[in-house]
Amino acid sequence: GPIVWPATYPDVIAVGGAYPEDPTLAHSDLTWIASDAASSGTSVLHPPRKVPDVCGLCGPVVIEDLFDRFGNQIKVRYPAPYQAMPTQWGCMADDKIGQGNCSYDGWVYTTGTSCSAPMVAGVVALMLERIRKISGLILRRTSGIGLRLPQVLLKQIPLVQATYWNSASILLPRYIKEVLKRTAIDVQQGVSANNEPTGPNEDPATGAGVVNAAEACNYINYRNMRNSLTSRYINFKAFDGSAFQYGDFFT
């Protein structure tokens, strides 16, 4: 059917999955493989939008020969017990005994992009904290993300006040996605659940690759933030010379 899930919307960071061939190797020696438990595709609502943008950790699909209740041999596909996640105690998933856990212990071993997405969200949280420290951007529960501008300017120029709140929520997420993609680890092996291939650089199966938390946070600095987030909506000539002592205006 058509690819219409919410992650295909342009302003969303769509997360796919990949896993290291041998996780015991040093980080720099890891070979990453696209997970065939993670979906990919092109949006029919917003073409040519392709997903995913980046990947988190996600194991492969396992195919195992089992027997049904009539004694017939069948092949069963299920996510590899790759990641441990807390689950509701006593539920059906809690009854599974995976690698090293017990039945009904409140933990389930599984995999999927439901595991990958929270990892990427955690990386984004680290990036936002670094952005807040570098630029003075602050989180406001009701107003989104904005810039701590001098109050005298906000009071004197309503345009600045309105613009900075309204456009920050548009520009900053795009900057976050851009940094995640620029610093991602390339994946060149495997296919997605939709049988789309990997390849050098950005590809249909894994997007830009596996997120790299350290590189993403280290990439963020005042200069590239200024270049990416400087307002295109404010007429700087409206300010007198004293306004520029505060540096660039981000919105």
The mean pLDDT value for 81-103 works out to 69
Cβ–Cβ < 8 Å for 77, 46: no
For the chain, what percent of residues have pLDDT higher than 70? 67
Whether 37 has a pLDDT exceeding 70, the answer reads yes
Percent of the chain with pLDDT over 90: 33
- Same domain as 230, residue 201: yes
pLDDT at 26 over 80: no
pLDDT given for residue 79 in this prediction: 72
Q: Which of 118-132, 147-161, 167-181, 190-204 has the highest mean pLDDT?
A: 190-204
What's the whole-number mean pLDDT along residues 176-197? Answer: 95
Is 54 in the same domain as 67?
no
Same domain (yes/no): 95, 53: no
Confidence of residue 198 (pLDDT cuts 50, 70, 90): very high
List the single range of 54-68, 69-83, 122-136 with lowest mean pLDDT. Answer: 69-83
In a domain, 195, yes or no: yes
Residue 1 belongs to a domain? no
- Which amino acid, one-letter code, is at 143? S
Task: Read off the pTM.
Answer: 0.71
Out of 38-52, 129-143, 222-236, least confident range: 222-236
Mean pLDDT of 139-159: 42
The span from the CA of 52 to the CA of 39, in Å, is: 8
Residues 138 and 211 in one domain: yes
Q: How far apart are CA 140 and CA 132, in angstroms?
A: 12
Are residue 183 and residue 233 in the same domain, yes or no?
yes
For residues 81-95, average pLDDT: 75
> Is beta strand 15-20 parallel, antiparallel or unpaired with respect to 54-57?
parallel
Give the start-end residues of each E strand in the chain. 15-20, 32-34, 41-42, 50-51, 54-57, 61-67, 73-79, 83-86, 107-110, 137-140, 144-147
Structural domain that includes position 100: 61-110
Mean pLDDT, residues 98-109 taken together: 67
| Mean pLDDT estimate for the chain | 74
> Total domain count for the chain?
2
How confident is the model at residue 110, as a pLDDT?
Answer: 78
HSE at residue 9, side-chain half, CA atoms within 13 A, is 5
Q: What is the mean pLDDT of residues 165-178?
A: 69
Instruction: Give the lowest-confidence range in 139-143, 145-149, 222-226.
Output: 139-143
At residue 200, the pLDDT reads: 93
* Model confidence at 65: pLDDT above 60: yes
88 and 118, same domain (yes or no) = no
Asked which of 94, 110, 126 is the last residue of a domain, the reply is 110
Claim to verify: residue 197 and residue 235 sit in the same structural domain: yes
- 167: pLDDT strictly greater than 70: no
**Contact (CB, 8 A) for 87 and 93:** yes
* pLDDT at position 206: 97
